[in-house]
Structure 1
């Protein structure tokens, strides 16, 4: 029997042992941040580098379910033109 995903150079297929997994394409959603713009600016400031010696911060976004943590992160990545 032929395996469902033969070994290829396809980057969307990952092999773990005898199992081949096909990865989904990145999800591209337009997320508009409707909350306080100051919070978004503070998050973006964590990655702002003024001097070459600066090290970007690693912020943690915490809060109750449904308050918009994921939406905030997605809005920040769109602002920075990078993938989440």
Structure 2
């Protein structure tokens, strides 16, 4: 929570939404857990840009991935039950 409060203070002079910061953190944790599975995927979209850009303009809290694996739904469902 301390990190979330710090980031909230840095972003737009405390006008960011702490709830969105927490959701973005949880989304990245989910991505980390998915990366430990056998599912091969490409991470893309706004959340991926959070990791590349020096300055944050907004938070994106969804995880955009693409894969061609047939068992994607099963793997993701199994991982979600662990989180």
| TM-score, reference length from structure 1 | 0.26
**Higher RCO, 1 vs 2 (CA within 8 Å, ≥6 residues apart):** 2
Structure number with the higher helix fraction is 2
| TM-score, reference length from structure 2 | 0.27
